[in-house]
Amino acid sequence: MSFKNFGGFSLIELIIAISISSIIVGVLFSILTNINIIEKTVFKKSHETINTVYAYNLLKNDLSNSLPGIVNGELSVKLKNQNELTINRISLAQNSDLKFKIIKVTWNIENGKLYRSIYEFGHDKKSNEQLIHDFQREINFKLEKESNLLTALKREQKSPSLLSLILGPKNQEIYTFKVGNNL
């Protein structure tokens, strides 16, 4: 009986091929897992950036449309305890072409969350309260520059012309806003 050389694979060649295939599959699985982690991190950061930009633009709009001087016996823009900002501003009336109204907007900071409340002029009833963004870190307002605007109020209230929103105690992000046209 004669054995012919059949050119098949030996057991050692099969074990080496399976080992190399397992290493390649393991590396590919690791790469795909890392891509998913990176994708989730990038999505979270971009979502946080979008919300920060939204808060910035909303606050900038409120401050740039603020009324100068005194409204209802109070300063039009008033900062209280670095965590509450009150702004009396002009706004377009809803369902109207060019009718303006005065509204009072209050920005509050509580436990790293930034809230915005809207009041109808002359009323203390909120018509809208909204959580703008949960920054999940320490935030506060800071008075950067006082206005040179003279008021009839004798109380020691400072009318701001520049305000900053400061995010985080370490590696601070600082967003500075001009108040109306008071510079």
pLDDT tens column, 82-132 = 888 888 888 877 666 667 788 888 889 888 888 988 887 776 776 777 888
From CA 104, how far away is CA 65, in angstroms rounded?
11
Q: Which of 37, 6, 166 is nearest to 175 (CA)?
A: 166
Tell me the one-letter amino acid at 23. I
CB atoms within 10 A of CB 28: 10
pTM for the full model?
0.71
Residues of the chain with pLDDT under 50: 182-183
